[in-house]
Structure 1
Amino acid sequence: MYGTRDISSVLKGIEGHFPVFTPAAVPRKAVATPPAFEELRVSPLRNTVLLDYLAQRGIPSGIAARECLEVHYRMRGRWYFGIGFRNRKGGMEIRNPYFKGSTSPKDISHVRHSTDKNERSTVLVFEGFMDYLSYLALKQGQPVPDCVVLNSVGNLAGALDVLEGYGHVCCFLDNDGAGRKATEEIRRRCESVTDKAVHYLPHKDLNEFLQHRLKKTEETHAELKRESG
């Protein structure tokens, strides 16, 4: 419609018709408090701007549509839209290219991939849903154990009882002080714990590692193409 797939250009083009956050209006790290969300409308994720944003971060549209929702919400009288990811209490993490927030109640997300309780011997732990989606992208359709997404390391206390119910915990947390502290706390509470963060050093998190890997793959393909040409 706009003759480009550049997200920034598209967002500017549709602003006014269906407003979205802009960097000048909302800082990238801003977190909305629950009262700021005046109304929520949830639907399957189909918005091409949001899907393209996730694709730029290495998340295929098939995974995004299966795991996430499309959320239209009103704040201070204006409508916006974003990617939604539900937690176990019905609250939701919301992201778009310029906004990071959540609705109440804030909690962890417990994603059960195993249908047999007897097979739930391993659980994977992620700090945010973008890292969880990145793991699914890296697995490329292979079977995945149950997963816990903290939606903030501040929710770790509420996740420990869940983690203790598994025989083994694999931590895919951030390579920073908060991530390492959370991993150590999990070690103190759970008998068998593996820190997977060392496998994506020097990157801060799994999504950053995924983006780097995809960029290197594209560069390799481009180099092979030049050589063959």
Structure 2
Amino acid sequence: MLVREMMSTPGVLLTEDLPVREAARLLAENRCDSAVVLDANGTLAGIVTESDLLADYFEATPDAYHRALGPPPDPATHRVSEAMTRAVVTTAEGEDACELSRRIFETRIWCVPVLRAGTVVGLVRRRDVMGLVLRADSDIRDEVVSEISRRVSDPQDVTVAVRDGTVEVTGATAPQTRRSVAALERTIPGVRGIVFAQPAPAEPGEHGQEPTRAAI
């Protein structure tokens, strides 16, 4: 699967000169935990998170402690440019989505901007990754069946079963058919892999199919 199949549209685009309080309001209203920050030319300048924006809003109350507090913190930041992170990991639409997902969780990144010729065209957040992991097998199967019907000239003998995101295809024996089906791994969200199986011989008196299978 490619990044373009996983990315979402940036819910909020901020500018460097935006007041921190206004940026926090925009994130809250749009239910975003992070946002892309653009410079005056519309180019990616950084990423800002809820934690970045709220870090200076809470100060300890002396009355709650039985000891003297240290010196007060530095004055609160007032602009997004002072709170954001400038060292940003980016990706492109044609990159491998699984590899990016692994990197997001291993390095604890909040989100990754998707660039096309230097312009932000999407965003991959942890919630986007989780949405793929939690996508129902039945939804994946329906989309696979629909795509096979569109790509394969004679899909009558092809059946599809999905378990935990892995697609098992039975009856696709022609090389061209297999190539067409295998390509779906890179285009359908939630597909972890595609395997091909030979049709099992019918048992005498056996009828019906497994509930997770769908004939095309």
TM-score interval, smaller chain? under 0.3
Which structure: greater helix fraction? Answer: 1
Given the two structures, how large is their TM-score scaled by the length of structure 2? 0.23
Larger Rg: 2
